[in-house]
Chains A and B, each alone.
Chain A
Amino acid sequence: MKCSYNWLMELVNLGGVTPKELARALTMSGSKVETVTELGAEIQNVAVGRALTVEKHPDADRLFVCSVDVGDGTPRQIITAATNVFPGAVIPVALDGAVLHGGQKIKTGKMRGLESQGMLCSLGELGLDEHDQPGADADGILILDETFPVGADAAEALMLRDVTIEFEITNNRPDCLSVVGLARETAATLGALGRGGDHPARLPATHEAVSRPQDGDIAQYLTVAVEDQALCPRYSARVAKDIQIGPSPMWMRRRLRACGVRPINNIVDITNYVMLETGQPMHAFDHARVRDKTLTVRPARPGETLETLDGKPRILEPSMPVIADGRGPTAVAGVMGGAGSEITEQTAVIVFESANFHGPAVRKTALSLAMRTDSSSRFEKGLDPSSTLPALERACYLVEELGAGTVVSGVIDICASFSPPVKVPFTQDKIERHLGVTIPNLNALLESLGFAVEGDSAVVPPWRRDVTIWQDVAEEAARLFGYDNIPVTLPPSRNQGWLTGPQRLRARLNELCVSLGFDEMLTYSFIGPADFEAAHLPAQNAKKIHNPLGEEQSMMRTSLLPSFLKALSVNLSARNPEARLYEVSKVYTDAGGQLPLETYRLVLGGYGGGFDYFALKGAAETLLGRFCRNEAVFAKTASYPVCHPGRCASVSLHGRDIGFIGELHPSLGFPAGAAAGELDVEALLEAARPDAVFSPIPRFPAISRDLALVCPKGAAAADVLGVIRKAGGAMLEDCALFDVYAAKNSLAYRLTFRAPDRTLTDEEADGAIARILKKLKESLDVSLRS
């Protein structure tokens, strides 16, 4: 909501508070100010003048030399190229040292040998356009009418100076989408601060109704029906005749402009002016073009269409409330009028509509027609039905005040039952205990906002439909008292805060990944079908978003792998020589219920800097070893098409499949060695042993033996190790692979034997080695390298 500071000043005593101070004060009392823009402030030293003579420049075909009276007895010689200046014309004159719109500075200078002591101004040079000054020549000098006093400051005379204060009004306060509402807030806010802000001296919406039986009766002009009162709780209308369409007065045009509305003509401007002033949207129909002289508020019928004021054809749906005349829709209720009944130069009789439409219906209509208007954005928040009549009377008053026409007697007012004023019970004690502060002048603060305090109740003013419970009353008091004046206390401590087991374990998982050299990434939860395809993942268990931003963000991921591949690509295209990334995050699997299963996964991997399958496997082994204290089983698999078929392993814990690791398939285009793995965090959490169990430090020496083994082609190291472990028995403390000689299918292990209670003998170790070799030969055909 943009509001004119001058307009506000007319309604409330601002007590010398500057626009900036006012903005800060209103922001802190709940009407947040977004911007404060000074209008016309830069225009300096421009006077109203009168051209005395206009003659051709002796040395230039296209220039004129004017002698201009600017009221100080010393006519100025000013050269102009404009052709519309004539002797006697009243014109704005930029004097020596003047500043114009956009900061343009004017100084005395010479033009083709003759001195020019200033400049005659056009509309644009004063920051105006044809809508602000109807009838003015956009290309020539602005010719003013005779009412402008020669010698006056032109910025003052043209009412260029004002300040636009733009507010962010919250949804619950449609009453503040009006100058009157903001004046009320201003008065209460400044009053609470002890800075003047007397109550609004005059609420211009409350004029006496114009009524002169000799000017006819509305019944001769119009009938109105409301088919569905749920859609339209109140419809008020009046008629005015003998309409003279023309520009509205300058003061009205300037105020509309300061509030961000373009002036059009007197009748349309009146409807906009009253809406800005009172917050009640208004509409004017050309009575001549209301067919059958009847208006009906009803839902649109299937197949109905309407050309709206903006010239666009609209297809209406049965959910949309419309105003129909005898032949069909002529306005979209609360949103926009129809072109068919638009006010034109020829309009002689008008119908003013001031109605209350159902907010949600207006909102949905505006949304589905994609035309949110000043009117619809007010209705959608829910307006006070009692404001239709005062606004209507205000508009009628202005019609006559502006000499735009004659108001016809009688009002059509179709109204659902009136609800009595709302009374909200409250006690000062409750409010103070809620806020944590005492407010000595509580009742006075409430009354300054228009509430009446009756015993233990607050009587809510009709424009405050948002106040229904004592907590609402508490907010009213608190915001005027000042949130900043509420003390800062710590909530009394009652219990210790804890992380749950899974939360602690996930934190530990993150620590481990970081300690292994991986950087944590953060990726989107929704991905696209192409991402599933790129990762060779099936998409059938993915939840699909009905209204996504785009197809590429339309499905909930069922794996972290697509997000990982994307991040890897980002790094590759950034030419980063290496990347190690991980993330512990959720995947979403449709399991048939309303909500999908949300489970955590871990993805990790990278490329460059020597990263490869074994680097990843080493990281995974360390991670699993530290996290679960259990050796995971890695088995060759080809069931992950995203991986190199010969370089991928499934990972299992206690016989349960928990994911995979592998080098990425060369066809994906990542550098050689790029590898990734994804593990099921829920399974990891189940297997986790965060608390270590101490085992004593060995007191007896160990015996080591090295074995170089020759394996048949295709034998897996894991199988060899399994046999060694089993045959080695309890004495075998460790079996570490220290060499791989691929050409000979040879693996070399260092075996460490130890007993916890004595020093082993060489014979015992040799015996174990013999058993191990025997078993290896028997079960895997593995023998000692000769």
Chain B
Amino acid sequence: MLKQELETLRERALAAVNGAPDTASLENARISLLGKKGELTAILKQMGTLSPEERPVMGALANEVRADIESALEKASAVMSERELAKRLEDEAIDVTLPGTPFRAGRRHPMQLVLDDVVKIFLGMGFSVAEGPEVETTYYCFDALNTGPDHPARDPQDTFYFDADTILRTQTSSVQIRVMEQSKPPIRIISPGKCYRKDEVDATHSAHFHQIEGLAVDKGLTMADLKGALQTMMTGLYGEGVKLRFRPHHFPYTEPSAEVDLQCFECKGAGCRMCKGEGWIEMLGSGMVHPAVLERCGIDSEVYSGFAFGVGIERLTLMRYKINDLRLLFENDARFLKQF
């Protein structure tokens, strides 16, 4: 009799559990079947009326029914929550092609990006960064650099003067002198910074420009070393395969002197509009430090030699980013600054 009830309960319970439409009806089924006031409990309450022989048999059957119901509940619940999660995820779907929330990241100025690269390249070659004043004495900017009182570079039409002895430096080479006066070889410095020449502003000129000057003084430095240092710089900036051309030139503070041209990226030397048909683009001036410059700084030019170079950061930058007008560098239009 009891056995019959248990079997019927199992059958009904499994049907109810498997047919439950949602989590709530499943929970209701659990309570009505297995709860304290549930049907199974009600049946088990009748166990007391059984004979001692029947009791263990019925007890075992009751446990078996309970286990079956519980396992069915568990299975149904798992299926159901999976289904409900799937529905929720579907409801939560978004248009992933909508634009992201704007996030503001600032930019370094292109000139600074180039300068930072040059600094890193030279730090790697054992150079340090030296700085000096931009408002400079004529001694450091001219006399000490073997540029005598009659040299045209000193003309007021080329150089900004505050008074007869005070100018805006026309090159960062003045820093070389200050460094050589204060330290003994070996010296390896680059000095980046602002320089000023009285040029009217146009697409390729600015009265206010930036230079990196390099100086190495040591025993046994050669012109071949100068070529190596500059090749390393240009390769670092523009990549493998960069071709340099060293051309004799004249500067009062170096001997021998060389101008350095970079083979045009566009035409590989054949000549095109970018290089004005020359195949090469003039990049910088360089040379072996003139002995008079060394001696003036108290360095024995028969023992030590050195090389020096000066390169315009504007030119390096225009080349690197293919910018066609130098004035853009100083206008600070956000539409320009945002591009780098």
| B-binding residues in A (CB < 8 A) | 27-30, 32, 170-173, 359-360, 363, 367, 380, 433-437, 466, 469, 471-472, 474-475, 478-479, 483-484, 486-500, 503, 507, 510, 513-526, 543-549, 553, 556, 567, 570-571, 574, 576, 578-582, 586, 588, 594-596, 598, 609
CB-CB under 8 A for A170 and B250, given A519-B107, A598-B133 = yes
CB-CB under 8 A for A497 and B107, given A471-B288, A491-B229, A524-B330 = no
B125 touches A519 (CB 8 A): no
State whether the Cβ of B257 lies closer than 8 Å to any Cβ in chain A: yes
B275 to chain A, nearest CB (A): 13
Q: Chain B residues with Cβ under 8 A from A581's Cβ?
A: 332, 334, 337
Find the residue from A367, A491, A549, A582 having the highest chain B CB count within 10 A. Answer: A491
Q: Chain B residues with Cβ under 8 A from A524's Cβ?
A: 208, 330
A549 touches B198 (CB 8 A): yes
B248 touches A479 (CB 8 A): yes
CB-CB under 8 A for A546 and B288, given A435-B224, A571-B333 = no
Which residue of chain A has the shortest Cβ distance to B208 in the bound complex?
A524
8 contacts between A and B (CB under 8 A): A437-B224, A490-B232, A494-B218, A497-B129, A546-B160, A574-B335, A581-B337, A588-B135
Which residue of chain B has the shortest Cβ distance to A471 in the bound complex?
B255
Q: From B161, B186, B196, B225, give the contact of A489 (CB < 8 A).
A: B225
Q: Which of B40-48, B78-86, B91-99, B108-116 contacts A (4 or more CB under 8 A)?
A: B108-116
Could you tell me which residues of chain B, from 104 to 126, have a CB within 8 Å of some CB in chain A?
104-109, 111-112, 116, 119, 122-126
Q: Decide if the interface of chain B is mainly helix, strand, loop or mixed.
A: mixed
Q: Chain A residues with Cβ under 8 A from B108's Cβ?
A: 510, 514, 520
Find the residue from A173, A521, A582 having the highest chain B CB count within 10 A. Answer: A521
Q: Chain A residues with Cβ under 8 A from B136's Cβ?
A: 595
CA distance A415 to B263 in the complex (A): 50
CB-CB under 8 A for A549 and B248, given A497-B123, A544-B162, A574-B333 = no
State whether the Cβ of B258 lies closer than 8 Å to any Cβ in chain A: yes
Q: Chain A residues with Cβ under 8 A from B221's Cβ?
A: 491
A553 to chain B, nearest CB (A): 7
State whether the Cβ of B10 lies closer than 8 Å to any Cβ in chain A: no
A553 touches B207 (CB 8 A): yes
B144 to chain A, nearest CB (A): 15
Q: From A514, A579, A594, give the contact of B334 (CB < 8 A).
A: A579
B249 touches A30 (CB 8 A): yes
| A-binding residues in B (CB < 8 A) | 104-109, 111-112, 116, 119, 122-129, 131, 133-137, 150, 152, 155-157, 160-163, 165-166, 168, 186, 188, 194, 196, 198, 200, 207-208, 216, 218, 220-225, 227-229, 231-232, 245-250, 255-259, 288, 290-291, 305, 307, 329-335, 337-338
A487 to chain B, nearest CB (A): 5
A519 touches B255 (CB 8 A): no
B227 touches A479 (CB 8 A): no
Q: Chain B residues with Cβ under 8 A from A521's Cβ?
A: 109, 332, 337
CA distance A522 to B206 in the complex (A): 13
Q: Chain B residues with Cβ under 8 A from A497's Cβ?
A: 122-129, 188
Which residue of chain B has the shortest Cβ distance to A573 in the bound complex?
B333
B150 touches A514 (CB 8 A): no
In the complex, the number of residue pairs spanning A and B with C-beta atoms less than 8 Å apart equals: 239
Q: Chain B residues with Cβ under 8 A from A486's Cβ?
A: 223-224, 227, 246
Which residue of chain B has the shortest Cβ distance to A566 in the bound complex?
B332
Q: Decide if the interface of chain A is mainly helix, strand, loop or mixed.
A: loop
Which residue of chain A has the shortest Cβ distance to B190 in the bound complex?
A497
Q: Chain A residues with Cβ under 8 A from B232's Cβ?
A: 490
Q: Chain B residues with Cβ under 8 A from A434's Cβ?
A: 222-223, 288, 305
10 closest Cβ pairs, A-B complex: A436-B222, A436-B224, A30-B248, A475-B256, A517-B104, A170-B250, A360-B150, A483-B246, A497-B123, A479-B248
CB-CB under 8 A for A522 and B248, given A171-B152, A490-B229 = no
CA distance A475 to B330 in the complex (A): 39
CA distance A753 to B104 in the complex (A): 34
B126 touches A519 (CB 8 A): no
B106 touches A433 (CB 8 A): no
CB-CB under 8 A for A598 and B135, given A479-B256, A515-B105, A517-B105 = yes
B90 to chain A, nearest CB (A): 36
CB-CB under 8 A for A489 and B160, given A471-B288, A474-B256, A479-B248 = no
B208 touches A525 (CB 8 A): yes
Which residue of chain B has the shortest Cβ distance to A435 in the bound complex?
B223
CB-CB under 8 A for A519 and B227, given A475-B255, A491-B218 = no
CA distance A489 to B329 in the complex (A): 35
B295 to chain A, nearest CB (A): 11
CB-CB under 8 A for A547 and B160, given A471-B288, A471-B290, A488-B231 = yes
CA distance A486 to B137 in the complex (A): 37
CB-CB under 8 A for A526 and B208, given A170-B250, A471-B256, A556-B135 = yes
Q: Chain A residues with Cβ under 8 A from B330's Cβ?
A: 522-524
CA distance A522 to B123 in the complex (A): 24
Which residue of chain A has the shortest Cβ distance to B200 in the bound complex?
A549
Q: From B155, B218, B259, give the contact of A367 (CB < 8 A).
A: B155
Q: Chain A residues with Cβ under 8 A from B107's Cβ?
A: 514, 519-520
Q: Chain A residues with Cβ under 8 A from B229's Cβ?
A: 490-491
Q: Chain A residues with Cβ under 8 A from B165's Cβ?
A: 594
B228 touches A520 (CB 8 A): no
A522 touches B216 (CB 8 A): no
CA distance A489 to B307 in the complex (A): 13
B125 touches A484 (CB 8 A): no
CB-CB under 8 A for A576 and B335, given A173-B250, A595-B137 = yes
Q: Chain A residues with Cβ under 8 A from B152's Cβ?
A: 171, 363, 380
Which residue of chain A has the shortest Cβ distance to B279 in the bound complex?
A24
B269 to chain A, nearest CB (A): 11
B125 touches A500 (CB 8 A): no
A475 touches B109 (CB 8 A): no
Which residue of chain A has the shortest Cβ distance to B302 in the bound complex?
A430
A588 to chain B, nearest CB (A): 6
Q: Chain A residues with Cβ under 8 A from B166's Cβ?
A: 594-595
Find the residue from B133, B246, B256, B337 having the highest chain A CB count within 10 A. Answer: B256
Q: From B122, B160, B256, give the contact of A478 (CB < 8 A).
A: B256
Q: Chain A residues with Cβ under 8 A from B157's Cβ?
A: 367, 547
A410 to chain B, nearest CB (A): 35
Q: Chain B residues with Cβ under 8 A from A517's Cβ?
A: 104-106
CA distance A484 to B261 in the complex (A): 12
A576 touches B218 (CB 8 A): no
Q: From B160, B247, B250, give the contact of A172 (CB < 8 A).
A: B250
A494 touches B126 (CB 8 A): yes
B220 touches A433 (CB 8 A): yes
Q: Chain B residues with Cβ under 8 A from A516's Cβ?
A: 106
Q: Chain B residues with Cβ under 8 A from A475's Cβ?
A: 248, 255-257
Find the residue from A484, A547, A570 having the highest chain B CB count within 10 A. Answer: A547
Beyond contacts A436-B223, A546-B156: 15 other A-B pairs, Cβ-Cβ < 8 A, are A360-B150, A434-B305, A475-B257, A479-B248, A484-B246, A497-B122, A510-B112, A516-B106, A518-B106, A520-B109, A525-B194, A526-B196, A545-B162, A579-B334, A586-B194
B132 to chain A, nearest CB (A): 9
A522 touches B332 (CB 8 A): yes
A487 touches B161 (CB 8 A): no
Q: Chain A residues with Cβ under 8 A from B160's Cβ?
A: 545-548
A170 touches B249 (CB 8 A): yes
Q: Chain B residues with Cβ under 8 A from A543's Cβ?
A: 135, 162
A493 touches B126 (CB 8 A): yes
A363 touches B125 (CB 8 A): no
CA distance A8 to B224 in the complex (A): 34
CB-CB under 8 A for A522 and B126, given A170-B249, A170-B250 = no
Q: From B207, B223, B337, give the contact of A519 (CB < 8 A).
A: B337
A490 touches B150 (CB 8 A): no
